[in-house]
Amino acid sequence: MPATTASVPSEVRPGRRPAARAVGITRTYGAGSALVTALDNVSVDFLAGEFTAVMGPSGSGKSTLMHCMAALDAPTSGHVVLGDVTLDGLDDKALTKLRRDKVGFVFQAYNLVPTLTAQENVELPMSIAGRRAEPSWFDTVISAVGLGDRLKHRPTELSGGQQQRVAAGRALLSRPEVVFADEPTGNLDSSAGAEILRFLRRSVDEFGQTIVMVTHDPVAAAYTDRVVFLADGRIVDEMRDPTSQRVLEKMSQLSEHPPAQPAPPVPTPED
């Protein structure tokens, strides 16, 4: 059986370069009969200054894709390029430095350091690197996430929404190449969730930040510029300027009729 190649060629808008690229990455776990293929030859570009959502049913490989893109996991084969750096064969030290300098994270479970104040948490990646943010940029980020009066509070003294805003501030402060957000609204009620999403949207529009967000919430996806759909470890579709209605339809279609072949709208170029 010939390898099925599913890829989304970068539909380059004028002046847009890819901030992160996956080139034919495959990620398998286990061996022999217990072999699980989480990603199957995926190629995708995430454009600079764009807000992209990665969607798909459970087990579709969307988290694995994000982990590989964010230098938290290494693909079994294929290449990941972050900015102008190819991740192949980098050692732990180089990967650590890369995450510190080029990647920002927002996790579903906030993942703040409980012993540090909100401000210290926001500054953490930069202070680990031994750098300080420009004061004006720091003020901009803090006012954007709306934490001005909470800076001295510890995570336990903050609501879930506030904690996630701290996490978002942390991801943005070092102006990383890409911010990866893993179900950032998963633990929040809808109004707190909407607040985070508005903030992420704003940071793309106003600061030109590149954001890749893994989500299964069509409402969240509607805040993005582009949605990439995964199923069974392959990219099966993508949608520009999504609305929650369209995303919902696509999602139910994906979970009811898992495509045996790549879905028609996706062009399948020759390798």
Partner 1 sequence: MWTVTLRNLLARKIRLALSAFAIVLGVAFVAGSFIFTDSLGNAFDGIVGGTTADVEIIPKGAGEVDQFGIDARTIPASVVDDLRKLPGAAKVSGTAQVQGVYVIGKDGKLVGGNGPPGLALNYGGMTSINGDPILTLADGALPTGPGQVALDVAAADKAGYLVGDQVTLVTPGDPPTMKAELVGLVNFGSEGGLVGATLTIFDEQWIQDLFFEGRDVYTSISMTTADGVSQTELRDAARTVVPAGVEVSTGDDFAAKTKQGIAKILGFINTFLLVFAAVAMVVGTFLIVNTFGILVAQRSRELALLRALGASRRQVNRSVLAEAFVVGLLGSTIGIGLGYVLAIGLKALFGVIGLDLGAAGMELQLRTVVVSYVVGVVVTMLAAYLPARRAGRVPPIEAMNEHAAVPESSLRRRLLTGGGLVVAGVALMGVGFTQDGNTSLSLIGAGMLAILVGVSLAAAVIGRPVISGLGAVYRRTSGTVGVLATENSLRNPRRTAATASALMVGLTLVTLMSILGQSAKASTDKAIEESLTAELVVSNATGQFFSPAYAREIRQVDGVASVLPIRVANAKLGDSTAYLEATDPRALGSAIRLPVIAGALGSLTDDTVLIRESTASSRHLAVGDQVTLTFPAGPRKFTIAGIYPSAGGAINNDFLMTLGGLTKSGIQPQDSLLFITKDPGASEATVRAAIDKILADNPTVTLKNQREFADEQKGLIDTFLYIIYALLGLAVVIAVLGITNTLALSVIERTREIGLLRAVGMGRRQLRSMIRLESTAIAVLGALLGVALGIVFGVVLQRAIAEQGIDVLAIPWVRLAVFVVLAAGIGVLAAVFPARRAARLDVLKAITTE
Binding site for partner 1 (CB under 8 A): 67, 70, 72-73, 92-93, 96-97, 99-101, 105, 107, 109, 111-116, 120, 124-125, 127-130, 170
Nearer to partner 1, 42 or 239 (CB): 42
Residue carrying structure tokens 């993005």 = 224
Q: Dmax over Cα atoms in the chain, in whole Å? A: 60
Nearer to partner 1, 5 or 119 (CB): 119
Nearer to partner 1, 62 or 99 (CB): 99
Torsions phi, psi of 22, nearest 5?
-110, 130
State the minimum distance, in angstroms, from the CB of residue 38 to partner 1: 12
Nearer to partner 1, 16 or 154 (CB): 154
Report the distance separating Cα 100 and Cα 81, nearest Å.
16
State the minimum distance, in angstroms, from the CB of residue 105 to partner 1: 6
Indicate the pairing of strand 36-47 with strand 6-8.
parallel
Report the distance separating Cα 77 and Cα 214, nearest Å.
22
State the minimum distance, in angstroms, from the CB of residue 188 to partner 1: 15
State the minimum distance, in angstroms, from the CB of residue 50 to partner 1: 23
Strand, helix or coil for residue 134: coil
Q: Where are the alpha helices (DSSP H) in 31-159?
A: 62-69, 92-102, 118-128, 135-145
State the minimum distance, in angstroms, from the CB of residue 9 to partner 1: 29
Nearer to partner 1, 107 or 219 (CB): 107
